[in-house]
Copies of this chain bind each other. A is one copy, B any other.
């Protein structure tokens, strides 16, 4: 079974030399090379690659934007960024856009072949410095990854509904109208919420609800 590869790079020499290199590998098949990504979705649909090598700097639209649109329409395609840039912004933007690997252009040849093979078998090849950046980033956003488990305040479903209305800025009246209950019922729920969250004002409720992701 052949591995179908497409290449997006605005530099003709690079396209051709990568193409030549990959053709020497058994089972690798270069099914398309493109100098820009303006028609990338059509191009990709046309040549139907398993893996895409994507440069970043290209005329008209960047490779990062291309990753986003391609993954949006063809999520099964694996995309390997291959670029000279290693600034945080471009690295993380690429990854968030959906790239499955990121290698730098400085040391080509065998590394590239290994990277493609790694990608083929479910890995995510990254140049060493990129991998380090990624791990450091993970650590710096660890609060988003491992949210310290929010205490459970045992809010009832209805109370949670009311709470989320409050967080959306609705007044008691509006909540009453929204949930088809009376103003006084809203008050009852809010009182309960105050008790359960140990707070004494709407602002505290909202702050606590958002910060502890209760909503």
A: number of interface residues (CB 8 Å):
47
Partner among B118, B127, B132 whose Cβ is within 8 Å of the Cβ of A128: B118
* A170 vs B200: C-alpha distance when bound (angstroms): 10
Beta-carbon contacts of A155-175 to B below 8 Å, as 1s and 0s?
000000000001111110000
In the complex this chain forms, how many copies of it are found? 2
Give chain B nearest CB distance to A55 CB in angstroms.
Answer: 19
Interface residues of A in 104-132 (CB under 8 A from B): 118, 121-129, 131-132
Q: Is A20 located at the chain interface by the 8 A CB criterion?
A: no
Q: Is A93 located at the chain interface by the 8 A CB criterion?
A: yes
Given contacts A96-B139, A166-B203, A202-B202, contact A125 B134 (CB under 8 A): no
Given contacts A92-B146, A95-B139, A211-B210, contact A134 B132 (CB under 8 A): no
* A146 vs B95: C-alpha distance when bound (angstroms): 11
Is B132's CB under 8 angstroms from A123's CB? yes
Given contacts A207-B167, A207-B168, contact A128 B122 (CB under 8 A): yes
Q: Is A137 located at the chain interface by the 8 A CB criterion?
A: yes
Q: Can you identify 23 A-B contacts, CB atoms within 8 angstroms?
A: A92-B146, A95-B135, A96-B138, A96-B145, A96-B146, A118-B128, A121-B128, A124-B132, A124-B134, A124-B135, A125-B128, A137-B145, A138-B138, A141-B141, A166-B203, A167-B203, A169-B201, A169-B204, A169-B207, A170-B203, A206-B206, A206-B207, A206-B210
Which positions in A face B, CB cutoff 8 Å? 92-93, 95-96, 98-101, 118, 121-129, 131-132, 134-135, 137-139, 141-146, 166-171, 199-204, 206-207, 210-211
